[in-house]
């Protein structure tokens, strides 16, 4: 009997510890750690929340969720302010945000899963999967005439935003065509959108230069064609379910609407206007399956996605991509700015030319969204930073302030 009690007691504590650890992972996405144990100063981290709270107190921003992970452990996970100002509903750890262009890295990972599986090659012409792109036209510089494209648009061109596609934001002839053909009509299907795009001339020959645009939406449709399943189903099967990203997708069901943040537009007077109305408990919110900007997610889910990439394609014994493929994705394939900024496959990449201006290490890869969301992954420092908010027409420097505070909190790099 004594022997039974002796063995049972340690087993009880082992189970208790496992339960506690599991709770942290469930709430934060990764295990928590004392910041100093992974080379981060708790005291210096303490400036982040008051800084962001200042924007909330002034009525300039609705709220934030900030997340920092170092060496696979969460050292900071802090909600500030409201997810819905009108209803005085605070942001929580499981608040769901529109991540807009932070969808692009996820879509790029989906493409590279097909690459790893041998279904596609980077130099495959887009017309191989979308025949409508076989006879694409290209505008001259003045956009007064068009000619047949001399180069084939490839999957790599789409991944690096060197395809010649754009976003149609402006008043040039190409922009007016994007509007005329209703490229961003949410009532159309993904296939219909891509069919419309194939009829619009490119703004330059594929491969000639960099231009941010709808390239990633085309990639999403290629995933749909190659996998022979709806794009959103592929993401769920190959990325979200394996990584435990339970709140990420192109919809917010009624059971989760209470966690969905309202989106706001900054006013010239420094205030906020709610866009639309607060979601109702009966709403079943579904969004266009845009690979370039249609997903919603949480800080927890996106942290798990980032940690998978930082780990070289694997998380919790689940492998999503080969390590060499992840390295290929955040290689600086295309320089696009005079300060040395480059672009990989779905990520902005820091090069040595601009390292002194933004604290991040050479090789750091990152992205952001239209509503002020932002993330970065710094392999050299084993560091992840994520900021979630919902503000359009942002005019405030909170992203840079957050990033600066994070790097100033690193203490092992000072030795």
Q: What is the DSSP string of 83-103?
A: EETTTTEE--TT-BEE-GGGH
Residues 197 and 51 reside in one and the same domain = no
What is the model's pLDDT at position 352? Answer: 74
What is the model's pLDDT at position 413? Answer: 61
Which of 166, 194, 227 is at the close of a domain? 227
Backbone angles phi, psi at 190, to 5 degrees: -60, -40
DSSP-based three-state secondary structure for 30: coil
The answer for 331, left when phi > 0, alpha when psi is -120 to 50, beta otherwise, is beta
Residues 222 and 234 reside in one and the same domain = no
pLDDT tens track, the chain, 415 positions: 334 333 444 443 434 333 333 446 668 999 999 999 999 999 999 999 999 999 999 999 999 999 999 999 999 999 999 999 999 999 999 999 999 999 999 999 999 999 999 999 999 999 999 999 999 999 999 999 999 999 999 999 999 999 999 999 999 999 999 999 999 998 899 999 999 999 999 999 999 999 999 999 999 999 999 999 999 999 999 999 999 999 999 999 999 999 999 999 999 898 999 998 777 777 778 999 999 999 999 999 999 999 999 999 999 999 999 999 999 999 999 998 767 789 999 999 998 755 555 578 889 999 999 999 999 999 999 999 999 999 999 999 999 999 999 999 999 765 5
**Tokens 């992954």 belong to residue:** 377
- Given a contact cutoff of 8 angstroms between Cβ atoms, the answer to whether 387 and 66 are in contact is yes
> Does residue 142 form part of some domain?
yes
What is the model's pLDDT at position 24? Answer: 60
Residues 300 and 191 reside in one and the same domain = no
DSSP structural state of residue 352: G
Residues 249 and 394 reside in one and the same domain = yes
- Provide the CATH number for the domain around residue 114: 3.40.710.10
Instruction: For residue 328, give Cα distances in angstroms to 106, 313, 355.
Output: 15, 11, 20
Residues 193 and 287 reside in one and the same domain = no
Q: Is the dihedral of CA 400, 405, 411, 412 positive or negative?
A: negative
Q: Is the dihedral of CA 60, 98, 310, 215 positive or negative?
A: negative
**Tokens 């997610």 belong to residue:** 297
Instruction: For residue 317, give Cα distances in angstroms to 203, 243, 266, 312, 320.
Output: 44, 10, 43, 12, 10
> Does residue 22 form part of some domain?
no
Comparing CA positions, the residue from 341, 358, 362, 377 lying closest to residue 109 is 377
Residues 388 and 244 reside in one and the same domain = yes
Compute the distance between CA of residue 291 and CA of residue 371 in angstroms, rounded to an integer. Answer: 16
DSSP-based three-state secondary structure for 46: coil
What is the torsion angle, in degrees rounded to the nearest 10, for the CA atoms of residue 318, residue 323, residue 326 and residue 331?
A: 170
DSSP 147-166: EE-SS--BHHHHHTT-SS--
Comparing CA positions, the residue from 76, 9, 36 lying closest to residue 402 is 76
Residues 263 and 405 reside in one and the same domain = yes
* Positions of E strands within 143-279: 146-148, 251-252, 264-266, 272-274
DSSP-based three-state secondary structure for 343: strand
Question: Which secondary structure element, helix H or strand E, spans residue 14, and what is its range?
Answer: helix 2-28
Residues 220 and 83 reside in one and the same domain = no
> Does residue 11 form part of some domain?
no
DSSP-based three-state secondary structure for 272: strand
Beta carbons within 8 Å of 330's beta carbon, 6+ residues apart? 309, 344, 345, 347, 349, 363, 365, 377, 379
> Does residue 283 form part of some domain?
yes
Which of 173, 201, 227 is at the close of a domain? 227
pTM: 0.92
Domain of 408?
Answer: 30-103+230-414
Which of 191, 207, 227 is at the close of a domain? 227
> Does residue 25 form part of some domain?
no
What is the model's pLDDT at position 378? Answer: 97
Compute the distance between CA of residue 31 and CA of residue 69 in angstroms, rounded to an integer. Answer: 9
Residues 317 and 179 reside in one and the same domain = no
Residues 392 and 313 reside in one and the same domain = yes
Backbone angles phi, psi at 265, to 5 degrees: -120, 130
Residues 269 and 382 reside in one and the same domain = yes
> Does residue 4 form part of some domain?
no
Number of domains in the chain: 2
> Does residue 7 form part of some domain?
no
Residues 72 and 112 reside in one and the same domain = no
262, burial (CB in 10 Å: exposed 0-12, middle 13-18, buried 19+): buried
> Does residue 6 form part of some domain?
no
What is the model's pLDDT at position 22? Answer: 40
């Amino acid at each position: 009997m004594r022997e039974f009690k002796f063995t049972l007691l340690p087993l009880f504590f082992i189970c208790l510890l496992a339960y506690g650890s599991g709770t942290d992972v469930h709430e934060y996405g990764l295990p928590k750690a004392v910041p100093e144990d992974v080379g981060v100063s708790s005291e210096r981290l303490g400036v982040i929340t008051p800084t962001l709270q200042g924007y909330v107190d002034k009525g300039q921003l609705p709220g934030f969720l900030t997340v920092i992970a170092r060496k696979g452990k969460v050292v900071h996970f802090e909600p500030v302010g409201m997810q819905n100002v009108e209803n005085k509903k605070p942001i929580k750890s499981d608040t769901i945000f529109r991540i807009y262009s932070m969808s692009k890295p996820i879509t790029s990972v989906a493409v590279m899963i097909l690459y790893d599986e041998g279904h596609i090659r980077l130099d495959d012409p887009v017309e191989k999967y979308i025949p409508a792109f076989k006879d694409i036209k290209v505008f001259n510089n003045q956009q007064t005439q068009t000619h047949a494209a001399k180069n084939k648009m490839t999957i790599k061109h789409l991944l690096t935003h060197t395809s010649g596609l754009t976003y149609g934001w402006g008043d040039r002839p190409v922009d007016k065509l994007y509007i005329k053909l209703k490229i961003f009509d949410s009532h159309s299907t993904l296939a219909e959108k891509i069919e419309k795009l194939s009829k619009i001339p490119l703004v330059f020959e594929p491969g000639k230069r960099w231009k941010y645009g709808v390239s990633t939406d085309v990639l999403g449709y290629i995933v749909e064609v190659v996998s022979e399943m709806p794009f959103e189903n592929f993401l769920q099967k190959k990325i979200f379910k394996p990584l435990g990203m339970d709140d990420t997708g192109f919809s917010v069901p009624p059971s989760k609407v209470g966690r969905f943040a309202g989106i706001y537009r900054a006013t010239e007077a420094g205030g906020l206007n709610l866009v639309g109305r607060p979601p109702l408990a009966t709403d079943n919110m579904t969004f266009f399956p845009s690979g370039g900007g249609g997903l919603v997610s949480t800080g927890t889910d996106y942290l798990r996605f980032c940690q998978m990439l930082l780990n070289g394609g694997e998380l919790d014994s689940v492998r999503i991509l080969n390590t060499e493929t992840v390295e290929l994705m955040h290689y600086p394939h295309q320089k696009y700015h005079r300060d040395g900024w480059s672009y990989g496959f779905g990520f902005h990449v820091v090069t040595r030319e601009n390292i002194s201006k933004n604290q991040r290490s050479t090789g750091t890869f990152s992205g952001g969204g239209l509503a002020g969301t932002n993330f970065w992954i710094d392999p050299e420092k084993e560091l992840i930073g994520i900021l979630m908010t919902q503000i359009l027409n942002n005019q405030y420097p909170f992203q840079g302030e957050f990033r600066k505070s994070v790097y100033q909190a690193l203490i092992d790099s000072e030795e």
